[in-house]
Amino acid sequence: MNEFASQVPSLMQSIREGIPYFLPEIVLIATFVCVIVTDLFFPGKKSVYTLGVGIAGIAVSLFFSVLQFQALSEPLRLFHGSLTIDRVAGIFKILFSGIVLVYALFIRGNTRLQDHVKGPGDLYLLLPGVLLGLNLMAMSSGLLMIYLSIEMISIVSYLMVGYVSDSPRQSEAAMKYALFGGVCSAIMLYGISLLYAFTGTLILSNPAFMNGLSEMPQAAVAIAVILVLVGIGFKLSFVPLHFWSPDVYEGAPLPVTAFLSTGPKLAGFAILLRFLDPYYAFQANGHATVFDFMPVLSLIGISSMIVGNFAAIWQDNVKRMLAYSSIGHTGLLMMAVVVHSANGVKALIFYLMMYAIMNMAAFIFAAKIEEGSGAINISDYKGLGRKFTLEMVCFVVILMSLTGLPPLAGFIGKVLIFTAAIEQYSSTSSVWLLLLLIVAAITTVVSLFYYFKIPLNAFLRSSEKMENMTPKRDFLTYIAVVLTMLLLVWGIMPGMLV
């Protein structure tokens, strides 16, 4: 007991020193309290006040995150090494703020959520909490903080998926999501406990962490690492942890589906990068390999690209098609993770930024088309290009970007990932990288077959059920149009971001 008591002063000093750098997250905590109080006084249809308070708090947090990013010259370790603020974490935090703001506006503009008996007020309550969890995921450099941040996002996601349970399909999706997430969480926690037992520390940057693992049998380390990857893989929904994704995407309201396909997925990649760093750094310093991530991550990437892209071909439901497409994109992004070089990380972050824009805009247009025509399946899109010209043209541009066609930002993102992988292959001649490149090229061509089913039906086929269809355009439609234009601008001038 005396041994722990002697560490209390240093821990308290670490907390005091870290609080000024934790200001964006402190703002979110204060905002969370404020939106709860606001919703008590302005419930139901008056929840617009709750939304206003939430957006204001998120905007202030974003402002401090931008200032922090601009002032950052070297990585900062907070709270005894549990959190790390560096350039990568700063970019992710700014990106998460943008995603949550668009998500908030998506909720506001979604007819299904606005007309529901519950109202959207409780979803607005979750906005500061979910952004706090995403920020923590981006900064986590301790195993316990990684687990807590993932659980924070998971619990909020369960609530979002099951919030409007007005159909058996959605109730089933919410139940599957919660049960599968609970199992993955327990498996991950067991892996973390093993790593702590092997090393005596929870901080990834602590030299004792890698030194302890290097003294353990490789089989034991492999089991612990794979168990932790199960928890991270649940957020990334890569194969074989993808089973929940299509059902949840289809059953959840479109704004929730849009958020799940962007925020948690991007945060999962942020945590994966942070988790891999000490292993690659230890190996780069001339030590023996503790765990070879290349074959494991390569197999995950290859199987995700194959399963995601080929399964998407057979889907008629738009949300299920985009769900399998998301799995395929996860596999492609795993190639940048496998490279794990400076260029690989830059390519990964650029593509994640463009992927967030593409997915958010795609789901917004799917929602507007569904509201105006009732179309939820690709086969229902016949002739809609004549009635929903603006929406369908922008939707096609987004699908072209998701495919990776020039001159759009999705093409630039894929070029950057392929370039980083080819550079790494030229210096290592790794068979795994070669397989990733081949499968990525093939599945990119395969993606044309399911993405272009939408413009094929919308513009080249006709339907007689178009008399009562009217586009319902509002501020949300024009936000999605702006997002579509960004894909074109950053496709032509990628240097603005790269």
ω into residue 407 within 30 of 0, thus cis? yes
Report DSSP state, residue 287. Answer: P
Higher pLDDT, residue 358 or 79: 358
Per-residue model confidence (pLDDT) at position 8: 67
Residue 304 is predicted with a pLDDT of: 94
| Torsion over CA: 390, 394, 399, 404 (sign) | positive
For residue range 115-158, list pLDDT tens digits in order.
777 777 778 888 999 999 999 999 998 899 999 999 999 988 88
Q: Are 147 and 226 in contact (CB under 8 A)?
A: no
Q: Is residue 173 part of a domain?
A: no
What's the CA gap between 436 and 21, in Å, rounded?
39
DSSP E strands, 105-224: none
At 232 the pLDDT is 92
Specify if 452 maps to a domain: yes
Q: Using CA atoms, how far apart are residues 113 and 161, in angstroms rounded to an integer?
A: 12
Q: How confident is the model at residue 471 (pLDDT cuts 50, 70, 90)?
A: confident
Strongest mean pLDDT among 219-223, 369-373, 387-391: 219-223
> In sequence order, what DSSP letters do the residues of 232-254 get, joined into one string?
HHHHHT-TTS-THHHHHHHHS-H
Is the pLDDT confidence value at 498 over 80? no
Per-residue tokens: 226: 């794979």
Q: What band does 266 get if pLDDT is binned at 50, 70 and 90?
A: very high
Domain ranges, residue 344: 292-498
pLDDT in tens, 399-417: 999 998 988 999 999 999 9
pLDDT at 235: 87
How far apart (Å, rounded) are the C-alpha atoms in residues 349 and 256?
A: 23
- pLDDT averaged over every residue in the chain: 87
Q: Work out how many domains the chain is built from and give that number.
A: 1
Q: Return the percentage of the chain with pLDDT > 70, whole number.
A: 94
**Is 448 among the domain residues?**
yes
Residues sharing a CB contact under 8 Å with residue 148, sequence separation 6 or more, in sequence order: 136
- From 193-197, 287-291, 362-366, 436-440, the region with the lowest mean pLDDT: 287-291
- Do the domain assignments include residue 188? no
Tell me the two tokens of residue 100.
């949550």
Higher-confidence residue of 76 and 434: namely: 434
State the Cα–Cα distance between residues 316 and 450, nearest whole angstrom.
9
Amino acid at residue number 248: V
The C-alpha angle with vertex 278 and arms to 290 and 156, in degrees rounded to 5, equals 115
Over residues 376-383, mean pLDDT: 87
Does 330 map to a domain?
yes
- Structural domain includes residue 369: yes
DSSP-assigned letter for residue 289: P
Question: How much is the CA Rg of the chain, to the nearest whole Å?
Answer: 23
Main-chain phi, psi angles of 76, to 5 degrees: -115, 135
Residue 85 lies in a domain: no
**Residue where the block lists tokens 């795993």:** 334
> Residue 4 pLDDT > 70, yes or no?
no
Q: Is residue 355 part of a domain?
A: yes
Q: What is the pLDDT of residues 165-176, one digit of tens each?
A: 667 777 777 888
In 3D space, the residue among 375, 355, 394, 379 whose CA is nearest the CA of residue 476 turns out to be 394
Distance CA 119, CA 124 (A): 10
pLDDT attached to residue 7? 65
- Taking alpha carbons only, the member of 495, 306, 491, 313 closest to residue 405 is 491
